Chains A and B, each alone.
Chain A
Amino acid sequence: DSGVTQTPKHLITATGQRVTLRCSPRSGDLSVYWYQQSLDQGLQFLIQYYNGEERAKGNILERFSAQQFPDLHSELNLSSLELGDSALYFCASSVGGVSPPDTQYFGPGTRLTVL
């Protein structure tokens, strides 16, 4: 158990809908990362937050947005969902604000299925 929690574990929804994925980082970690993992695209880095502020952006679609709240939990919002958004979404956390290496600890993931 990495100490990172993600809810829900599974989510099934329809095209065009909007969903919110939630992540609670390990105690003491200030940095949160979001990833998407699908069979054809592999693990894709989406976005990083540190202490409430966006720090790095990867291949995140405009239909997706994220935020980190004052209590450090983070939410990833996915809107206008398409079939191709079906994937495993991981959150990871790290201490943050330090020079690398800054070890990331991954949560168990949320499996999103868009029908």
Chain B
Amino acid sequence: QKEVEQDPGPLSVPEGAIVSLNCTYSNSAFQYFMWYRQYSRKGPELLMYTYSSGNKEDGRFTAQVDKSSKYISLFIRDSQPSDSATYLCAMSTLGGNYGQNFVFGPGTRLSVLP
């Protein structure tokens, strides 16, 4: 079993739809949870960052973490064609001297159709 599992998609939705992206993980030592967006041929870009169970909202994006179920989600409201990208979940543990060891999910490719 991989440490972080994510449905690779592709996921196609019409413009304006609510998108739900999910990851599960097996390592209970993960303390920090992130969502990145990666456009084709570009580096990943951080969207959301959280370290506690519950919801965190930022504009059209909501990140949800359930540590008891080892499950995280990203919701995108009113999706736009510009949201078409690959979405990567990531998790990290915090080591000594602020070292962070990151594990990424394989990514979900999202297409928002106009």
- Interface residues in chain A, defined as those with a beta carbon under 8 Å from any beta carbon in chain B: 2, 4, 31, 33, 42-45, 48, 50, 53, 55-58, 90, 92, 96-104, 106-109
Assess whether B71 is interfacial by the CB under 8 Å rule. Answer: no
Contact B101 A100 (CB under 8 A): no
Q: Nearest CB to that of A109 among chain B residues? A: B43
Task: Report which residue of A42, A44, A96 has the largest number of chain B beta carbons within 10 angstroms of its beta carbon.
Answer: A42
- Report the minimal beta-carbon distance from B58 to chain A, rounded to whole angstroms: 12
The interface size of chain B toward A, counting residues with CB under 8 Å, comes to 25
Closest to B101 in A: A56
Q: Does B114 contact A (CB under 8 A)?
A: no
Compute how far the CA of A24 lies from the CA of B18 in the bound complex, rounded to whole angstroms: 38
> Known contacts A106-B45, A108-B42, A108-B43; is A100 also within 8 Å of B100 by CB?
yes
A48–B98 alpha-carbon span in the complex (Å): 10
- In Å, the complex CA distance between A33 and B90 comes to 14
Query: Among A33, A43, A98, which residue has the most Cβ atoms of chain B within 10 A?
Result: A43
Q: Are A92 and B43 in contact (CB under 8 A)?
A: yes
Q: Which residues of B contact A53 (CB under 8 A)?
A: 97
**Also in contact, A58 and B45, with CB within 8 A (given A100-B32, A100-B94, A101-B32):** no
Chain B residue nearest in CB terms to A46: B102
CA distance in complex: A104, B100 (Å)? 11
The answer to whether B98 and A99 have CB atoms under 8 Å apart is yes
Contacts of B31 in A (CB 8 A): 100
Contact B46 A55 (CB under 8 A): no
Instruction: Please measure, in the bound complex, the distance between the C-alpha atom of A102 and the C-alpha atom of B98, giving whole angstroms.
Output: 10
Chain-A contact segment, one of B9-17, B73-81, B103-111: B103-111
Contact B44 A55 (CB under 8 A): no
A43 close to B100 (CB less than 8 A): no
Q: Which residues of B contact A100 (CB under 8 A)?
A: 31-32, 49, 51, 92, 94, 100
Interface string of B36-50 (1 = CB under 8 A from A): 000000111110010
A55 & B104 in contact (Cβ 8 Å cutoff): no
- Report Cα–Cα, A104/B90, bound state, in Å: 12
Seed contacts A55-B97, A55-B100; 19 additional CB < 8 Å A-B pairs: A4-B43, A33-B102, A42-B104, A43-B90, A44-B104, A45-B104, A48-B100, A50-B97, A55-B95, A56-B95, A57-B101, A58-B103, A90-B43, A97-B98, A100-B31, A100-B49, A100-B51, A101-B51, A106-B44
